Amino acid sequence: MEYAKPDVFSLEQNYPNPFNPVTIIKYSIPESPLLGGVRGGFVSLKIFNILGQETATLVNQNQEAGFYEVKFDGSQFASGVYIYRLEAGSYTAVKKMLLLK
């Protein structure tokens, strides 16, 4: 069985948002020459505090084209606004999320 592959990069808003303490972040990686090949490439998904300091790395590896979801557990972090950033090849997307305890 052949599964559909995404045709665009995307970073979705985390759900739920606001969250306590766990949220899900979904993203898609298309088959793209921007990643140095047609089968995916190196992907980074990181969490930053509002001061821009990196607080967590959720993904830091090569990934094939496809749809992904990552669970983020904020139980070790203070309440507040956090930024998450997806980088894949020349694509970068940033979104905000709110941790409420």
Query: What pairing do the DSSP bridges indicate for beta strands 40-49 and 54-64?
Result: antiparallel
Q: 3-class SS at 66?
A: strand
pLDDT for the residue numbered 18: 97
**In the CATH hierarchy, which top-level class contains the domain 10-99?**
mainly beta
Between 31 and 12, name the one with better pLDDT.
Answer: 12
pLDDT for the residue numbered 95: 98
pLDDT in tens, 27-74: 999 876 555 555 667 899 999 999 999 999 999 999 888 899 999 999
Region 71-80 average pLDDT: 96
Region 9-20 average pLDDT: 96
* E strands in the chain: 10-11, 22-29, 40-49, 54-64, 66-73, 80-88, 91-99
> How far apart are the C-alpha atoms of 57 and 48, rounded to whole Å?
9
Give domain limits for the chain: 10-99
> How far apart are the C-alpha atoms of 24 and 71, rounded to whole Å?
5
